[in-house]
Structure 1
Amino acid sequence: MIFFGKKEDPEDLIYQGVAFLEKNQPKAALVLFSKALKNDPENLSALHKKGLTLNQLKKYQDAITCFDKIIEIKKDDPDAYNNKAIAQAELGNTDGALESYDKAIATDSKYAAAYFNKGVLFDRLEKHEEALVILDEAIKLDPRKPNALFYKGIVLGKLARHEEALNCFEKVSKNNPSHLDGLFHKGIELAELGKHEEAVRVFDKILEKHKDNVNVIYAKARSKAALDEVSQSLELLKRAIMKEPKTIKKWARAEKIFERFEDDERFRKMVK
C-alpha cells in the first residue's frame, strides 16, 4: 500500500520562512520559500520573499529570475521592478537598473522607494546633481522616513555644499534622535565648516553610548587637532589606531589637519 504525504500549506511555509529571516537565517528561509513555490509556483508572496532573500544572499541573478516571474504574473508590481533594479545594479547593469526603476515609478508614481534607490544609483554613477533631484522626489513622497534626507546630505557633502548638508543632518537628527549616522554626519559637516567645538560636542554625545566607535574617535581627534588641543588629539588618534591600525594610519598620513603634527615625535611613531 502506498501512502501519500500531506501537501504542506505554502502560507505556513512562508510564515516559517519569515520567522527565519527575523532570526537572521536567510539560508534556512530560502529553503522554505522554495518549498512553498514547489507547491504553488505562482505564489506572489513566496516569489517576492524568495527574491528579497536571494538579494540579501547576493545571489542577484537568481533574484532577478524571481522578480521577472512576478512581473510575468502581475505586470503592475512596483516592488518587483524596484527589487529587480537593486539586483541589476549590484551586477553592474546600471542601464537595466535605471530602466527598472523607471518602470516601478511608471507603475506607481508615488512609490518613494524607487525614487530613493534611483537617487542612490545616480550618486554611485557620480551623477550627483541628478541624484539630488530624484532624492527630493523621494523626500516629498515620504517625508517621515529619514533615508532620503540623510542620503541627500551625503551627496551635498560630496559636492562641498556643507551648509546644505548640515541642514539635512540636523533635520534627520531632530526628527529621529536614535539615527546615529545622522548625528555623526552632523558632526562631520560642523567640522567641515570649521565649527570644531560644536563638532566635538556632537561626537561626545555619540561616544557616551558608543565609546569604542573608531570613526567617531578619529573624527574627534581631527577636530581636537584643529582646535590645537594637541595632547587630546594624539591620545584619541592613538585609541583609533589601536582599533584599526592599517586604516587609521593611512587616513592620518593623508589628513591635512594633522600636518601640524609632522614634527611631533609622538605622531610620527603612531603613523609610521
Structure 2
Amino acid sequence: MGFFGKKENPEDLIYQAMSLIEKQQPKGAISLFNKVLKQDPKNTQVLFNKGLALNQIKKYSDAVTCFDRLLEINPKDSQAFNNKGIAFAEMGNLQGANKCYDSAIKADPKHAASYFNKGVLLDKLNEHEEALKFLEKAIETDPKKPNALFYKGIVLGKMKKHEEALNCFDNVCRKFPSHMDSLFHKGIELAEIQKHEKAIEIFDLILSKHKDNPNIIYAKSRSKAALGQYPESIELLKQAISKNPKVIRAWAKEEKAFTHLHNDTRFRALVKL
C-alpha cells in the first residue's frame, strides 16, 4: 500500500524493478516484483523476471517455484522451462534440468537457448558426441549468436579434434572480432597442433589488452617451452605463478611442454616439484 492507503501502480513498480535489474540490483527488483504479485498473482511478465532475478542471486529453489507458477498459467512456456532447467542444473539436479530443456524444445523447436543449454549439460556428463548434436541445432537455430559455436569448439578440443576446434574459434573470431575468449582458445588450439609461433602472436595480442591475465601468460610460457626458449618460458611462468600460485603450479606440474625443465632448479623452485 502507498500513501493514504492507495495501492502503488503496478506499471510503475515494474518499471522501477526493471531499472534495478539493469543496474545489477536483483534483490531490490525482487522486492518490487513481490509487491506487484500481491496485487496480480498471475502477472506472467513479473513471474518470469522474478524467476530470472532469483536465479541471478542463486536462490534456485525459489526460482523453480516461480517458473512452476508460470507453467501452471502457460504449460507451453519454453522460456520458463529453459530457465527452470538452468536453476535445476545449478542445484545439481542434472536429470531435472535435462527434462526441462527437452520440454522447452518440445514447446518451441526454435528455442536456441534450450539446445545450447542441453548441449552444455551433455558435455558436462562427458557425452560429447550428443552434446555436439544439440550445439549444432543451437547454431542452426540462431546463427547470429557466438555462444554455441564457441562452445562447440570447446567440446571438440576436449575430444582432441584440434583442427576442427580451431576452425570453430576462427569462425567466431571472424564473425565477432571482440570475442576475446575465442581468440584465446584459437591460440590454445594452435599450440595443440604445434603451431607455437602463431599461438604466441595471439597471446601477445591479448596481453597487449589484458597484460595481467595469468592464464594467457601461462599459455605463452608453455609455448615458449615447447619451442625450447626456456629462460623466457621460466620468466613468464614466474609471472603467472605470482598472480595465481595454486592453479598455475598444478598446471605446470602436469604439462608435457615443461618436461625438459624438470631438472632445472629454478623451475623446480617455482612449481615446488
Given the two structures, how large is their TM-score scaled by the length of structure 2? 0.96
Partner of 2:116: 116
1:185 paired with 2:185, answer yes
Cα distance in 1 for partners of 2:263, 2:131 equals 43
Cα distance in 1 for partners of 2:75, 2:4 equals 37
Report the CA distance between 1:11 and its aligned residue: 2.2
The one-letter code matched in structure 2 to 1:49 is: N
Cα distance in 1 for partners of 2:65, 2:161 equals 41
Partner of 1:195: 195
Cα distance in 1 for partners of 2:235, 2:20 equals 44
Partner of 2:204: 204
Partner of 1:54: 54
User: SS of the counterpart of 1:171?
Assistant: helix
Partner of 2:19: 19
User: SS of the counterpart of 1:143?
Assistant: coil
The one-letter code matched in structure 1 to 2:27 is: K
1:164 paired with 2:168, answer no
Q: Structure 1 runs of 4+ off > 4 angstroms?
A: none
Deviations 1:120-141 (A, max 9, x none): 1111111111000010000001
User: SS of the counterpart of 2:263?
Assistant: coil
Cα distance in 1 for partners of 2:247, 2:218 equals 11
Range with bigger deviation, 244-253 or 155-164 = 244-253
Whether the 8 Å CA contact 1:8–1:39 is kept in 2: the answer is: no
Report the CA distance between 1:97 and its aligned residue: 1.5
Report the CA distance between 1:151 and its aligned residue: 0.4
The one-letter code matched in structure 2 to 1:118 is: K
Report the CA distance between 1:4 and its aligned residue: 4.2
Cα distance in 2 for partners of 1:7, 1:50 equals 20
The one-letter code matched in structure 2 to 1:94 is: L
Cα distance in 1 for partners of 2:247, 2:94 equals 30
Cα distance in 2 for partners of 1:256, 1:49 equals 48
Identity of aligned residues (%): 62
User: SS of the counterpart of 2:6?
Assistant: coil
Cα distance in 2 for partners of 1:9, 1:222 equals 60
Total equivalences in the alignment:
270
Deviations 1:56-86 (A, max 9, x none): 1111111011001111111221100100111
Once the two structures are superposed, the pairs formed by residues 1-272 of structure 1 within 5 Å of their partners are 4-272=4-272
Q: Which runs of 5+ in 1 are unaligned?
A: none
Report the CA distance between 1:38 and its aligned residue: 1.5
Cα distance in 2 for partners of 1:139, 1:22 equals 28
Whether the 8 Å CA contact 1:105–1:111 is kept in 2: the answer is: yes
Whether the 8 Å CA contact 1:217–1:239 is kept in 2: the answer is: yes
Cα distance in 1 for partners of 2:21, 2:266 equals 49
Q: Which runs of 5+ in 2 are unaligned?
A: none
The one-letter code matched in structure 2 to 1:238 is: K
Range with bigger deviation, 15-24 or 138-147 = 15-24
Cα distance in 1 for partners of 2:14, 2:228 equals 59
User: SS of the counterpart of 2:5?
Assistant: coil
Aligned-residue CA RMSD (Å): 1.1
Cα distance in 1 for partners of 2:11, 2:118 equals 32
Cα distance in 2 for partners of 1:221, 1:32 equals 51
Cα distance in 2 for partners of 1:108, 1:11 equals 29
User: SS of the counterpart of 2:85?
Assistant: helix
Whether the 8 Å CA contact 1:122–1:130 is kept in 2: the answer is: yes
Range with bigger deviation, 30-39 or 154-163 = 30-39
Deviations 1:190-224 (A, max 9, x none): 00111100100011110111101111000000001
User: SS of the counterpart of 2:234?
Assistant: helix
Given the two structures, how large is their TM-score scaled by the length of structure 1? 0.97
Cα distance in 2 for partners of 1:270, 1:263 equals 12
